[in-house]
Chain A
Amino acid sequence: MEQTFLAIAVLFGLGLYIILTHQNLIKIAMGIGVMESAIILLFIILSYRPGGTAPILDADAQAYDLIVDPIPQALSLTAIVIGAGTTALMLALIIKIYNRYNTLYIDEIKKLKG
């Protein structure tokens, strides 16, 4: 459990570091994607219970005694869909910026603006 939390914190920090240091817009979009993955991983580890089965039951009565928490799974589904939407929108805006300025680097775009 603790190791997973450490991995999530490292993954989130990695995404944030990419966003802060890189100049390329595509790489910034990738960094946001990495941060989203860390959040989804957090949802999954919060719903985990040792020895639990997936929250899909059998037609006959209660066949399982331990089931993982279904609420974070539903929330992570929402997060995945919203993440796909924001990524697509970011890429569309990057295409627009590239068509206008002919570069993907933030500092060059700033110079062009004067």
Chain B
Amino acid sequence: MRKFASLIIVVLLSGLLLMTFLSLSTADYDLSEHYINHGAEETKALNLVTAILFDYRAFDTLGEATVVFAVASTIAFLVPKRTASMISARFSIIMQQTTSLLIPFLFMIGAYIIAYGHISPGGGFAGGVILAVITILITVTFGIRYSDRQVRPEIKSFMESFGAMGFVLLGFIGIVLGGNFLANANSTLDLGVKGELISSGIIPHINLMTGLKVAAGLSIMFNSLIKEE
């Protein structure tokens, strides 16, 4: 009975959703046209998604990064902080050696994706997740005690706070240079040459801060979830 009622509700709601989708207008939007035609010139960032995330709508991204920060803090607070490992199985030496071999390359590609976020696909969020995978791999392969000894939780929480504070402090550059908070293209900042690594003002720096924050936040989340009493 419960399933039947749910099915009716779900079918009705999905039908309503579908009708709304079909009546959506697919006209061209002025704002998108402006970003596509002038975005790269205004911000000097070739990756338009990064230009929108860290320049035009940087304030939104600050809120988004704050969500990651809040979730990491809440999980570290919620889940008990005992150091017994949930994964008791020991992996073979093949797994351990492969993980050790992979880690430098993972660090390399994570750092590359963060640093080139304004030129090529990628950015702080994607690169930060790849950096967090390193500590997750260490935790899964060698156990949580070893992982906490290699990358100490204090260092991770320092990285996360550093990223959060750095993002906010970089935002004040916009105010100092005669714009709004987190202004980049709107301020008098020297944006450099389009397509170079050090260009487009504060975008690469905000990317770096976001990357640090996401990496630290995700590895704190995973290590907190894997612990048990």
Contacts and interface: CB of A to CB of B under 8 A. Distances in A.
Contacts of B229: 99
A89 B57 CA distance: 26
Interface string B74-98: 1100111000000000000000000
A12 B10 CA distance: 9
Given A82-B67, A92-B79, A5 B32 contact: no
A73 interface: yes
**Dominant secondary structure of chain A at its interface with chain B:** helix
Given A12-B14, A70-B52, A85-B67, A58 B125 contact: no
A6 to B, nearest CB: 6
Contacts of B225: 88, 91-92, 95
Contacts of B194: 59
A29 to B, nearest CB: 12
B140 interface: no
Contacts of B18: 5-6, 9
Nearest to B5: A20
A16 B194 CA distance: 46
B177 interface: no
Contacts of B7: 17
A34 interface: no
A33 interface: no
A8 B22 CA distance: 12
B36 A70 contact: yes
B32 A69 contact: yes
B32 A56 contact: no
Interface in B171-205: 194-195
A55 B197 CA distance: 18
Contacts of A80: 125
Interface in A1-47: 1-2, 5-6, 8-10, 12-13, 16-17, 20-21, 42, 46
Interface stretch (B41-49, B105-113, B143-151, B154-162): B41-49
A67 interface: yes
A16 to B, nearest CB: 5
Interface string B1-32: 01100110111011101100110101001011
B36 A67 contact: yes
Residue from B15, B29, B225 whose CB has the most chain A CB atoms within 10 Å:
B225
A12 to B, nearest CB: 6
Contacts of B9: 16, 20
A69 B46 contact: no
A106 interface: no
B136 interface: no
15 contacts: A2-B22, A8-B21, A16-B10, A55-B48, A59-B195, A70-B36, A70-B49, A74-B49, A77-B49, A78-B60, A81-B214, A89-B75, A95-B79, A95-B228, A96-B78
Given A17-B6, A20-B9, A59-B46, 9 more contacts: A56-B49, A58-B46, A69-B29, A74-B52, A78-B60, A81-B67, A84-B218, A92-B78, A92-B79
Q: Across chains A and B, which 6 residue pairs bring their CB atoms closest together, nearest first?
A: A59-B195, A13-B14, A55-B48, A20-B6, A85-B71, A5-B21
